[in-house]
Amino acid sequence: MTVAKQSRALGSPAHPSGGVDRVLGLGVAALFLVVCGVLAFMSLAPLFSRDGSQQAEGPWAIGKPATVVDAWAGVRVYEQPSSTSRTLGALKTGEPLTIRSAPVQAWGATWVLVSWDRGNLTGWMRQQSLEPGR
């Protein structure tokens, strides 16, 4: 049996570089997929904040000011966007805040991550207790 017949019998490609071409082709395809994934991530990243919530435009944009409204006995601020989360405190009407996250839907309400006390404290409040832009 000749060498060419032996290589075909063992399942090797008849062309000596056939295996190398296949590996290179798969490598190029994998590199292409990785590059496409990175580009897709980079194009979507500006739409999301660090905590994964979508960034908002306009008055609810991150970094914009907001104010507590209708706080007869104080509006509670929570550790997480849920009224069952640990309460961090209560803020009075007119308290100046800074928006730290776009509004998110959780537990049947719309929540906004805010900071107060010159940015030293951060917590979640229901959007209905806030007025943006003041």
pLDDT in tens, the chain (134 residues): 555 555 454 455 555 555 666 766 777 777 777 665 555 554 444 444 444 545 556 777 888 888 888 767 788 899 999 999 999 988 888 888 999 988 899 888 999 999 988 778 899 999 888 888 75
How high is the pLDDT of residue 17?
53
Output the pLDDT for position 40. 53
The pLDDT, as a whole number, for residue 47 is 43
Alpha-carbon distance 77 to 121, whole Å? 10
- Residue 84's CB is within 10 A of a number of other CB atoms, namely 7
Residues β-bridged to residue 90: 76
Length of the chain (residues): 134
pLDDT computed for residue 35 by the predictor:
63
d(CA 44, CA 4): 52
**Given this model, what pLDDT does residue 1 score?**
53
